[in-house]
Structure 1
Amino acid sequence: MHTPHVVVVMGVSGTGKTTIGPLLAARLGVPYAEGDDFHPQANIAKMSAGVPLEDADRWPWLDAIGAWAQDREGLGGVVSCSALKRSYRDRLRDAAPGVVFVHLAGDRTLIEDRMSHRQGHFMPTTLLDSQFATLQPLGADEAGVTVSVTGSPEEITERASAALAGVEAPSR
């Protein structure tokens, strides 16, 4: 992969987007943005209460991430964003057509275990089922790669970086 592309690190909650995103950004030599920071407070309150977001809740969040990605086109960057549905990824691509996705994927048991051990995060494990139900894996026509979340953060980052080397970002 030739930077500077904008990479969206995606997946259900608990896959390690916030851990892998900065590591991948450092490896690529580009800035990192935490997708959760783009959520309005109302979304965080809803999720903290165990209430899944609806699409209407997600659109402003996705638009804010899309604007960040658009500003980084040609410069490069990595941003975390669950981007669970194809329509969410399409919305990000509408704002920044050259984005490339890294789908962090793992089985539910492993991810639930990881979520149960993290501290200070607003997303409860009770929402994991709704995340998996919503998830639409990358389509063959989407620029991106799927990377297993087994192993250490460094191993996952290495796999993601190596997989991205073979991905060409779409042009405008």
Structure 2
Amino acid sequence: MVVIVMGVTGAGKTTVGRELAEALRWRFLDADDLHSPANVAKMAAGFPLDDSDRWPWLAAIRAQIQEAIERGEDLVVASSALKRVHRDTLEVDPSQLRWVYLHAPREVLAQRVSQRHGHFMPASLLDSQLETLEVPQRAMPVDVTPPPAEVVARIREGLKL
């Protein structure tokens, strides 16, 4: 099975995804690691990605998901997957995939992003991500204002993992 933890910057995709994978003893993939150097440089300079930037990145994520499913490997993926078309692209086999939508009030997200150090995504891009976000209809919504351990417990309970 593959669980994709998605949401805007500051939602805690990496933190929650990593903790969920550790709790389940599954492999974890941070989709940010698959961005091209050009994408990272563009975001670091304060410019949002457009879909032409995202397609090769989404293809790389999809390939990782496909390989995991083919091997029968359980995987947790942290990915923004902001638009429905992005999620549709990643949905290799809907029967083997679950979506978790991490969300919080803008103020919480902004505070988290402003406190991050060493991440290429500047706080200035939060609003563009919120504008781009198409709230998923087929995902388990999870408020991420509680501590990560509580968020992970809610996900495990909601997905019966």
Please give the range of the TM-score, normalised by the shorter of the 2 chains. over 0.9
Q: What fraction of aligned residue pairs are identical, expressed as a percent? A: 47
How many correspondences in the alignment?
Answer: 158
Write out aligned runs for 1:1-172 (5 A). 5-73=1-69, 74-93=72-91, 95-97=92-94, 98-139=96-137, 142=138, 144-165=139-160
Return 5+ residue gaps in structure 1 as ranges.
167-172
Letter in 2 for 1:77: L
Letter in 1 for 2:121: M
Question: Displaced runs of 4+ in structure 1, greater than 4 A?
Answer: none
Return 5+ residue gaps in structure 2 as ranges.
none
Q: Deviations over 1:36-69 (max 9, x none)?
A: 1010000000000000000010011011111111
CA distance in 2, matches of 1:48, 1:13: 13
TM-score (norm. length: structure 1): 0.88
CA distance in 2, matches of 1:96, 1:103: 18
- Structure 1 or 2: more helix by fraction: 2
1:150 offset after TM fit, Å? 1.1
